[in-house]
């Protein structure tokens, strides 16, 4: 359910868009030089842009997963502590 919300709200670049962006970055970084391999800077720039694009949805999803896990742990702990009311009272 969460992944559908995140996917629906963010636009995913197509592989063709990423290839075009990489090609443009290589042309801009190299200017008139024409090496056989792309420089490391090109990959770093593309990865940095993708990380920044997905940073907010990923942080939001991590927060939701953390909250859900915490709720499950609290429910399980409450079920176990119900057999020991004095221990539960001393911890809470």
Q: Checking phi first, is residue 31 left (phi over 0); if not, alpha (psi -120 to 50) or beta? A: left
pTM: 0.48
Ordered by start, the domain boundaries in the chain are 2-91
The CA distances from residue 70 to 3, 65, 77, in Å, are 19, 9, 10
What are the average pLDDT values for consecutive 10-residue runs of the chain, which has 92 residues?
A: 44 77 74 61 80 91 96 89 80 68
CA separation for the pair 83, 45 (Å, rounded): 57
């Amino acid at each position: 359910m969460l992944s559908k919300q995140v996917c629906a709200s963010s636009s995913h670049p197509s592989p063709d868009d990423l290839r075009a962006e990489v090609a443009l970055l290589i042309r801009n970084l190299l200017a008139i030089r024409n090496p056989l391999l792309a420089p490391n800077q090109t990959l770093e720039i593309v990865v940095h842009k993708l990380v920044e694009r997905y940073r907010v949805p990923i942080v939001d999803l991590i927060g939701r997963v953390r909250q859900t896990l915490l709720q499950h742990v609290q429910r399980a702990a409450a079920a176990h502590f119900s057999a020991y009311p004095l221990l539960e009272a001393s911890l809470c």
